[in-house]
Structure 1
Amino acid sequence: MGGGRRPQGGAHARRAPGRPLQRGSARGAGPRERRHWRRPGWCDRRVDGAGIGSIHGCGQWRLRPRRRRPQDLAAARRCGLARERPAARNSAGHARDAAGRPLTQLLRWAEIDLGAVRENAARILAHLPKGTRLMAVVKANGYGHGAVPAARAAIRGGATWLAVATLDEARELTGLVHAERILVMGGMVPDQAPAATVSGFSIAVSSPGFARALGDGEEVVPVHLKIDTGMGRFGVSPDDAQSLAKLINDSAGLRLAGTWTHFASAGTDEKMTRAQYERFLRAMESLGVDPGLRHACNSAAALRYPEMALDAVRAGIALYGCEWPGASPALSLRSVVTHVKTVAAGHGVGYGATWVAGAPARVATVAIGYADGISRARGNRGHVLVRGQEAPLIGAVSMDAITIDVTGVSDVAVGDVVTIIGADGDQRVTAEQVADWSNTISYEVLTAIGSRVKRRYSE
């Protein structure tokens, strides 16, 4: 290249060392840059008519908005730019497309009705003597419902205390209530005492060793003395409760803010429950100090023995609509069909071929398994709901899938919503039913729901 001519075009432009190459402005660009521009077309306009439309790929051009013409709307729909009418809903309340199939991008999800949690909290309080405080138990991620959303809903329903198992769970709730009104009920080791001391939370104490570790800090720690009246886990024996209460009372770093116990069989054994309650009352009378907030009842005891409520009750499972007559279940668990096939008579299904078709059958595979909380004990037990009808669960539960017999359910297809817990049309499956089919309890059914299951909240 000779003659001292300056190179044309951005690809050959020179720049001073250390300075970035500057592109020309829209009006000052060279011919090679300008020739790639295009005039705006109809697709460059915003079809909603709001504001000033921008040009895709050429941000310096602007168009004045204009009214949408019928031909523009038709073309916009072809490009996927126009808003469509809301889709129809299926019997489980999920959107369906024109062919009747559900519209969802999730394979498995839980629907949490926070309004139900709020109503259940109010229902529990209405059942108790006036003035009783409600301590909402939201440990284990709010029994699978989400600790923070569940706690907020319970507070709106009248709860004034929160209870969890660990310090980490308590920290999630910071700011929802005063820190002292969050009780950490679970056991700890002395190495955790420094963190517990500065947390501001109420801490359960069951032994002199842990009490001394807590009292060594610079903060005054509110503690709840736990007395073992028959559960056999945490707690000091009734005979030793007085000495531990005195240790707490004499410590400059501790304050006895509460005294509590836990019933072992409140839902099944009245004689044992009443014996535990009387043992607890006698132990508190012998403390020689103010016991602080007195609480003994869990959900089962609060339901059956409201006269034992004392100052507060700790309600967990009942908050979520289980194990309490008239309570509203707060959680629905759903998935979708990912495959449908016909199997011949004699064909096995699942690991170990534990189910074998006695006649030709339609089998649907559903995208949820034991990694998501479906117990392997459910193999060949119980049913789910699809298209508002019951479909038996067949074969072994896999890590990521279950199989169901949909021979008796018309038109089941890929994408159909399957309800594992909850309602579909006039049919409902409860967590208690699932617990029976799984040889467990509703607590485990709810808390076992895994992290792959997305939570969707509503009021």
Structure 2
Amino acid sequence: MTRSREPPYRAWLEVDLGALSRNARRVAEHVAPARFVPMVKADAYGLGAIEVARVLDRLEPYALGVATPPEGAELRRGGIERRIVVFAPSAAAEISQLLEARLECAALSLASLAKLEAGARAGCTRMAVHLEVDTGMGRAGLPVADAGAWSPEVASILSRGGASLASVFTHFHSAGTDPAATRLQLARLRRAASTLEEAGVEVPFLHAANSDAVMADPQYHLGLVRPGIYLYGGRRGTGAGGALADPESVARVRARVLEVRDLAPGSTVSYGATYTTGDVERLATLGIGYADGLPWRLSNRGQALIHGVRVPIRGGVCMDVTSVDVSGVSGVEAADVATLLGRDGREEVALADFAETAGTIEYEVLTAIGRRLPRHYVGGPADAADGSR
């Protein structure tokens, strides 16, 4: 990383928009002729929804996926005109926001479908809805075993004119680990769609594939796919026979060295004195802590990269600072840059490894990166533009 391109922050999240675009293009080409619906919920997994959506929008996805109406409304305010689908349950009070922002919405029950239809009709408009079928996730959706009973009810609600069916979908619960269960869920979804069609409901699209399913088997692609973590550099090595290459790293967490100090043997480090030096050790204090999203569980376990060299975290991760041992790295001084997540030279702290060391999952690592860290965009049209949110 060239010093002239480093932003003037104590710590920041660097987002490679070029890598993001290449990951998304790889998915789009892999699943064709199916269309893709990139998930940009949770502020695009913590990387900045508007900036990420603008990059993905250039690839002409079928739609963009969010979890809540406010997330969709934010994209509209950011100038995104493409279809936006809200996939999480929406309260009746949010229907006006759905309509105002021209959002499509998932219907997770007969009651929610009826509320969406009635709200749209009362607003003298028509809302595109996406009907969820519960094929085994167990958290929401029309139960697949009762498709014969609810399919005529769906047809009746749609006939009232306030809602049109855009798709029928489900969520795979173990696409990356249990092929047999995933195939069973797919078969259940197809049966539910057939039952709907027998009741006179036209089903434009079926979809179920998350990132794991996109990589696992083309039979899961159907008409649409919903990639998420793969776009942002996660779930490496889970593809089937290399059919879809590992994603490029997108997120890099950087922090500056605030201070370098030599500690005598027997010195203790950080709260709780959980680390004691065995010899003279040189420690660098980094301007990042758990308030920025660096997991406390990396205390005495995690690593950083400084001058392209791996260095261990010593002592507990604090709210605002973290100490690393730079005894084996020459020339470290204040204002140097450490990489907690991502690549520095030939070394990399990969997202999957970071998550494993912290005892969590890749999704949580990204979405937990604090808003105190400015987002710094490189590698794309927004190169060197800093997010101030």
The TM-score, its normalising length taken from structure 1, stands at: 0.75
Is 1:234 aligned to 2:146, yes or no? no
The one-letter code matched in structure 2 to 1:379 is S
| Deviation, structure 1 residue 194 | 3.0
Distance 1:247 1:407 in 2: 72
CA contact (8 A) 1:378 1:397 kept: yes
What CA distance in whole angstroms lies between the structure 2 residues aligned with 1:333 and 1:421? 5
Q: What's the secondary structure of 2:72's corresponding residue? A: helix
CA distance in 1: counterparts of 2:155 and 2:276, whole angstroms = 67
Partner of 1:150: 52
Residues 17-42 of structure 1: CA deviation (Å, up to 9, x unaligned):
xxxxxxxxxxxxxxxxxxxxxxxxxx
C-alpha distance in structure 2 between counterparts of 1:170 and 1:394, whole Å: 42
Superimposed CA distance per residue, residues 189-226 of structure 1 (whole angstroms, 9 cap, x where no aligned partner): 22222332443211011122222222223221111000
Distance 1:249 1:213 in 2: 11
Is there any run of 5+ residues in structure 2 with no aligned partner, and where? 237-244, 381-389
Q: Max radius of gyration: which structure?
A: 1
Partner of 1:125: 28
Could you list the per-position Cα deviations for residues 141-198 of structure 1 after superposition, in whole angstroms to 9, with x for gaps in the alignment? Answer: 11111111111212223423100001111112224233xx210001122222233244
Shift of 1:247: 4.0
Shift of the 194–401 alpha-carbon distance from structure 1 to 2, 3 Å rule, reads same
Distance 1:247 1:163 in 2: 27
Query: What are the superposed Cα offsets for residues 207-264 of structure 1, whole Å, 9 maximum, x if unpaired?
Result: 2222222222322111100011111112111114514522432232111111110101
1:317 aligns with 2:229: yes
State the 1:286 CA deviation: 0.6
Aligned to 1:249: 158
Residue 270 of structure 1 aligns with which residue?
Answer: 179
Q: CA 1:344 to 1:196, structure 2 compared with 1: closer, same or farther past 3 Å?
A: same
**Displacement, 1:353?**
1.2
Count of matched residue positions in the alignment of Structure 1 and Structure 2: 359
2:81 to 160, 168, 177: 177
Letter in 2 for 1:148: I
Alignment of 1:182-197 (within 5 A): 182-197=84-99
1:224 aligns with 2:130: yes
Instruction: Name the amino acid aligned to 2:255.
Output: S
Deviations 1:411-437 (A, max 9, x none): 211111000111111111111111011
Secondary structure, aligned partner of 2:134? coil
Among 159, 183, 200, the residue aligned to 2:102 = 200
Q: By how many angstroms is 1:123 displaced? A: 0.5
TM-superposition CA deviations, 1:431-453 (whole Å, max 9, x none) = 11110111111111111111111
For 2:3 and 2:342, the matched residues in 1 are separated by 13
CA distance in 2, matches of 1:423, 1:154: 23
1:310 and 1:244 map into 2 onto residues whose CA distance is 25
Please tell me the root mean square deviation across aligned C-alpha atoms, in Å. Answer: 1.7
State the identity %: 38
Find the residue that maps to 2:209 and give its secondary structure. coil
Offset of 1:265 from its aligned partner? 0.8
Work out the CA distance in 2 between the residues paired with 1:195 and 1:208: 21
Aligned AA for 2:362? Answer: S
State the alpha-carbon separation in 2 of the partners of residues 343 and 419 from structure 1.
23
- Could you say what secondary structure the match of 1:451 adopts? coil
Aligned to 1:330: 250
1:307-351 residue CA offsets vs partner (Å, 9 max, x unmatched): 211111001111112214432111211010111111222221111
Seen in structure 2, the aligned counterparts of structure 1 residues 442 and 244 have a Cα distance that, compared at 3 Å, is farther
Kindly tell me: are residues 199 and 243 of structure 1, through their superposed partners in 2, closer, same or farther at Cα, counting changes over 3 Å?
Answer: farther
- Maintained 8 Å contact 1:166/1:186: yes
Where structure 1 has 5 or more consecutive residues not aligned to the other structure, the ranges are 1-91, 97-102
User: After TM superposition, which residue ranges in structure 1, 4 or more long, deviate above 3 angstroms?
Assistant: none
Secondary structure of 1:286 counterpart = helix
Kept in 2, the 8 Å contact 1:332–1:422? The answer is yes
